[in-house]
């Protein structure tokens, strides 16, 4: 069986993604063959493409995909042909029509969720779950600073945080995104191009600061985010959309109030299948109870992958972006 697949021979700009016809063998023991219907577009994909997160070359990319099981290998126990499934933790390679993947990486999509919604929300929802439930468990006493509040993760995070009673301060880059952040529940929205976000946070919190900063931006925000924290607060850097955060001297954390700093990853928090399943179940529960919404943004065809990457990196996208398999 042939599959149209994105191959990267040299890391770099979006144009370095090339389509090739790859042969897909019969699934091995414990594997299934999945035909994608939708693929989730995530910022980590651009890190893999650019080489920020290096992969062995030639590389396939794309961490998240939803579709139908069309073949099963020997001793495959969890799935059968016809099952609708989603995965969000790779291995990289979802930018394709058909692929084989180990069954322990897959989650069955419940009946109340369609494949497009699953592809749009799974990785982002699981990211929010581990950040707010495990990295820094949120409760109603907390003040939170959330960067990129109108993005795919940001919109889900705002809804999730508000469901736990937190006060949420969001930063965004445009007036249109101010409205998006407000509509998702942000108590205060800072247009960072017009106002210094540290000053705005201190004004809103009457000089106390926030308990936690969730920072998926990195380089442009990390150091100033430390200045937004109350004593014993935590800076959680979970992404690098502006580049890697600069080194932070531990003595700086002491001087600013015995602060905590962490750089967690979804892959570590959901390294075993039990944790991954619990995380996915929580996302589906929050979705089924209408606590969170998929906030579907632009839909691109899989063949428009170069355009999709450029739009994402230029911050032209809003919400959760999906690629529809048109092969």
Q: What is the pLDDT of residue 286?
A: 96
Residue 135 lies in a domain: no
* Domain edge (last residue) among 216, 246, 263: 263
Q: What is the pLDDT of residue 58?
A: 96
Q: For residue 25, what are its two tokens? A: 């063998």
Q: For residue 203, count other CB atoms closer than 10 A to its CB.
A: 12
Q: What is the pLDDT of residue 121?
A: 92
pLDDT tens-digit series, residues 107-155: 999 999 999 999 999 999 999 999 999 999 999 999 999 999 998 899 9
Q: Do 178 and 73 fall into the same domain?
A: no
Q: Do 50 and 117 fall into the same domain?
A: yes
Q: What is the pLDDT of residue 319?
A: 73
- HSE of 60, CA atoms in CB hemisphere, 13 A: 21
Please list the helix, strand and coil fractions of the chain in percent, rounded to the nearest 5, in that order.
Answer: 35, 30, 40
Residue 59 lies in a domain: yes
* Domain edge (last residue) among 243, 263, 283: 263
Residue 289 lies in a domain: yes
Q: Do 108 and 150 fall into the same domain?
A: no
Q: Do 274 and 290 fall into the same domain?
A: yes
Residue 131 lies in a domain: no
User: Residue ranges of the chain with pLDDT lower than 70?
Assistant: none
Domain that holds residue 151: 140-263
Q: Do 299 and 278 fall into the same domain?
A: yes
Q: How far apart are CA 107 and CA 81, in angstroms?
A: 14
Number of domains in the chain: 2
Q: 281: which DSSP letter?
A: H
Q: Do 89 and 165 fall into the same domain?
A: no
Angle between helices 175-183 and 152-163 (to 10 degrees): 30
Whether the Cβ atoms of residue 322 and residue 40 lie closer than 8 Å to each other: yes
Q: Do 67 and 116 fall into the same domain?
A: yes
Q: What is the pLDDT of residue 193?
A: 87
Q: Do 13 and 107 fall into the same domain?
A: yes
Q: How far apart are CA 25 and CA 325, in angstroms?
A: 20
Q: What is the pLDDT of residue 242?
A: 78
Q: How far apart are CA 105 and CA 89, in angstroms?
A: 7
Q: Do 212 and 317 fall into the same domain?
A: no
Q: What is the pLDDT of residue 21?
A: 95
Q: How far apart are CA 185 and CA 167, in angstroms?
A: 9
pTM score, two decimals?
0.90
């Amino acid at each position: 069986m042939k599959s149209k697949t994105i191959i990267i021979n040299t890391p770099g700009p979006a144009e370095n993604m090339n389509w090739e016809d790859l042969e897909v063998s019969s699934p091995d023991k414990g594997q299934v063959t999945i035909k994608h219907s939708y693929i989730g577009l995530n910022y980590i994909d651009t890190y893999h493409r650019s080489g920020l997160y290096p992969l062995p070359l030639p590389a396939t990319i794309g961490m998240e995909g939803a579709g139908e099981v069309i073949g099963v290998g020997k001793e495959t126990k969890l799935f059968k042909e016809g099952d609708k499934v989603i995965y969000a933790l790779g291995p990289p390679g979802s930018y394709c029509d058909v692929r084989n993947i180990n069954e322990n990486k897959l989650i069955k999509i419940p009946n109340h969720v369609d494949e497009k919604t699953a592809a749009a929300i799974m990785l982002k929802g699981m990211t929010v779950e581990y950040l707010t439930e495990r990295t820094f468990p949120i409760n109603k006493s907390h003040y939170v600073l959330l960067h990129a509040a109108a993005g795919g993760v940001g919109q889900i995070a705002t809804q999730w945080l508000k469901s736990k009673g937190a006060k949420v301060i969001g930063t965004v880059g445009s007036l249109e995104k101010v409205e998006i952040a407000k509509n998702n529940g942000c108590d205060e929205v800072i247009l960072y191009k017009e106002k210094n976000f540290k000053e705005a946070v201190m004004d809103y919190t009457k000089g106390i600061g926030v308990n936690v900063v969730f920072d998926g931006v990195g380089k442009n925000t990390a150091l100033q985010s430390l200045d937004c924290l109350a004593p014993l607060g935590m800076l959680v850097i979970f992404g690098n959309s502006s580049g890697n955060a600069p080194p932070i001297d531990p003595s700086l954390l002491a001087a600013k109030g015995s602060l905590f700093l962490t750089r967690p990853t979804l892959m570590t928090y959901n390294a075993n299948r039990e944790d991954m399943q619990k995380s996915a179940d929580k996302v589906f529960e929050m979705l089924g109870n209408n606590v969170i919404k998929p906030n579907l943004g632009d839909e691109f065809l899989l063949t428009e992958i170069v355009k999709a990457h450029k739009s994402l990196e230029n911050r032209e996208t809003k919400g959760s972006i999906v690629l529809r398999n048109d092969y």
